Structure 1
Amino acid sequence: MFQDRIEAGLALAQQLSKYKNENGIVLAIPRGGVPVGYAVARELGLPLELVLTKKIGHPNNKEYAIGAASLTDYFIVPHEEVPAEYVEQELIRVRERLTEMHDRFEAKKEAAELEGKTVIIVDDGIATGNTLLATVQLIKKSRPKNIIIGVPVAPEAAVSKLTKQVDDMVVLLIPDMFYGVGGFYEDFSQVSDEEVADYLAKKAN
């Protein structure tokens, strides 16, 4: 059990200490991953940015990720029953939301160059891992040196799925009984836009 996301991030940073001061970057998944990512980035001496990607869900089950999109690229696992028109419509919708996020949090910054870097993707926990899996495939297109996932808590099934797709995966808790990420935090209150902006500003200074 973690007291809050900052405590979880500090514990995670200890396990990621071999990446300290590397040519790398911490990419935090908004919003809950931002306090965790802030603590990790601060301890490792790395820059912090947001993962500006969103999943593309299956038309019959939006929670089931068939891919992910960024502002400039996308990754889709082909499904015969998913028409190309649906994917195009989802790309437009997802990118509108990503543009809003970018303008709100990172309007003054160029997107980080990931090629040749150690990329550490951080969240406050993983449930199924499907969305993160699609995000990893998208990040691979930027040709980073390696990709690491760091999270405080995740179920065994998600860890097994994701470990095969990245160079390293650090998970502090892999519980036998998993009922959701929030069950492993004493304080799992929602992270506001203002807090996200504050963490990004503090790390930039």
Structure 2
Amino acid sequence: MFLNRTEAGRQLADTLAARNFAAPIIYALPRGGVPIAIEIGRRLNAPVDIVLVRKIGAPGSPELAVGAVTDGAEPLTVINPDVARLTGASDEYLQQARGRELAEIERRRNLYLGDRPRPSPAGRTAIIVDDGLATGATARAAGAALRAQGVGRLVLATPVAPAEAIAALADSFDDLICLEKPEPFHGVGAWYQDFHQLSDEEVIEALREFSAGR
């Protein structure tokens, strides 16, 4: 069990530092991935950015990911057809949910990033970071979005995830780093002593402090 996201980030940073990835950029999945990404960025002396992806939750079970949608001129949508079928997520439901999540992506992009310049991932190592994975749908969508921008190497790093989710993502990433793969898996929050929901204000302040310290 991790004390909090900061401690998990430091442990993950130790593992990533030993891999000596070339020209890394750390991409946080907000909000929970931001504190972890910042610890990794500090350790690797690498820039930290965010990759805006929103989970599409299942009908009646919003925490269960049917798929995910990414930001961009042509937003990319990834759907897990098995989960959609089992949860009764119709095409109409998926379209409505996609629209809601794209609106939230737009809000977060304006709030978190404003007009600050962002590093290009082209030819570099993109390390996508989250505080944990359940199905991996959000991480898969984020990886596809960064692949489209011409990354040199695509890495997924997370403190905790079920083994089957990591195995299912093997074809989407060049490297997969996960500190803990507990069985049975009782949800990401079960592996943190402090897993409070981060506010927008916490995310903005953390990114501001990191930028000011570089």
TM-score (norm 1): 0.87
Residue number in structure 1 paired with 2:207: 200
How far off its partner does 1:57 sit?
Answer: 5.4
Spell out the pairing of 1:30-179 with structure 2 (5 A cutoff). 30-56=30-56, 63-76=64-77, 82=91, 87=95, 92-179=99-186
| Secondary structure in structure 2 of the residue aligned to 1:116 | coil
Cα distance in 2, alignment partners of residues 178 and 39 from structure 1: 25
Cα distance in 2, alignment partners of residues 141 and 172 from structure 1: 28
How far off its partner does 1:54 sit?
Answer: 1.8
Relative distance call for 1:152 and 1:192 in structure 2 (3 A) is same
Contact 1:69 1:75 in 2 (8 A): yes
- Pairs aligned (count): 203
Unaligned runs of 5+ in 1: none
Q: Which amino acid aligns with 1:168?
A: D
Cα distance in 1, alignment partners of residues 171 and 42 from structure 2: 28
Contact 1:26 1:47 in 2 (8 A): yes
Q: Which amino acid aligns with 2:131?
A: D
Relative distance call for 1:86 and 1:181 in structure 2 (3 A) is closer
Cα distance in 1, alignment partners of residues 191 and 56 from structure 2: 27
Relative distance call for 1:21 and 1:198 in structure 2 (3 A) is farther
Relative distance call for 1:127 and 1:144 in structure 2 (3 A) is same
Contact 2:65 2:135 in 1 (8 A): no
Contact 2:52 2:142 in 1 (8 A): no
Quick one: percent identity of the two aligned structures?
33
Residue number in structure 2 paired with 1:17: 17
TM-superposition CA deviations, 1:155-176 (whole Å, max 9, x none): 0111101122101011100111
Decide which moves more: 158-167 or 65-74: 65-74
Relative distance call for 1:91 and 1:111 in structure 2 (3 A) is farther
Relative distance call for 1:76 and 1:194 in structure 2 (3 A) is closer
Residue number in structure 2 paired with 1:8: 8
TM-score (norm 2): 0.83
Unaligned runs of 5+ in 2: 82-89
Contact 2:3 2:192 in 1 (8 A): yes
Residue number in structure 2 paired with 1:186: 193
Q: Which amino acid aligns with 2:165?
A: A
